[in-house]
């Protein structure tokens, strides 16, 4: 990712911090961040400052060893949909064990992911987060993928290029 680096004041840089804490290999430059795969481990973190990016951590938790807790994300409940409830429902569809609280979600990945049809709730972030499951050896069907058109109209075209 270019245009954002180790000294950035952009809040979403904390997403790369969270990935690094999970075990991803992160290279920090002055105006770039490179993320490489690493053996992922569970985290227990407060995501109040980056609640939207925390949704991607929720699906990343499917590939981590152990139970991940995403805390202080009450505002997920007042977004395009009740994202806490939606995320819990859809994570369970792929086999995760999920505890949903008023302002947190705790995710234990399954031994093996299950192919599922993911409902997006007309929420672009739900579609984009769950598309990451397709990078594993488990296929996933995203119902209503066009919901991404409001923020990233060609998301699935770009995603297909990335996943080749």
Separation of CA 156 from chain center: 16
Cα separation, 128 vs 121, in Å, equals: 12
Separation of CA 123 from chain center: 13
- CB atoms under 10 Å from CB of 102, counted, come to 8
Tokens of 53: 């990016």
Please identify which residue in the block is written with the tokens 């202080």: 72
- CB atoms under 10 Å from CB of 21, counted, come to 16
List the catalytic residue out of 30, 46, 52, 82: 52
Contact 106, 68 (CB under 8 A): yes
Q: Is 52 a catalytic residue?
A: yes
What sign results for the dihedral spanned by CA atoms 27, 33, 35, 40? positive
* Residues catalogued as catalytic: 52
């Amino acid at each position: 990712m270019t245009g954002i680096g180790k000294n950035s004041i952009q809040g979403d840089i904390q997403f790369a911090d969270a990935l690094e804490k999970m075990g991803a290999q992160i290279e920090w430059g002055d105006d770039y961040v490179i993320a490489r795969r690493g053996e992922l481990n569970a985290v227990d973190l407060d995501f109040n400052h980056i609640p939207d990016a925390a949704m991607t951590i929720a699906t990343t938790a499917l590939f981590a060893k152990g139970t991940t807790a995403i805390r202080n994300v009450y505002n997920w409940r007042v977004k395009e949909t009740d994202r806490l409830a939606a995320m819990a429902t859809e994570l369970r569809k792929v086999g995760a064990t999920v505890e949903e609280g008023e302002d947190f979600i705790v995710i234990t990945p399954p031994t093996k992911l299950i192919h599922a049809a993911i409902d997006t709730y007309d929420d672009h972030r739900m579609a984009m987060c769950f598309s990451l499951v397709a990078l594993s050896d488990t296929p996933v069907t995203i119902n209503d993928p066009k919901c991404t058109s409001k923020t990233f109209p060609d998301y699935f075209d770009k995603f297909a290029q990335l996943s080749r």
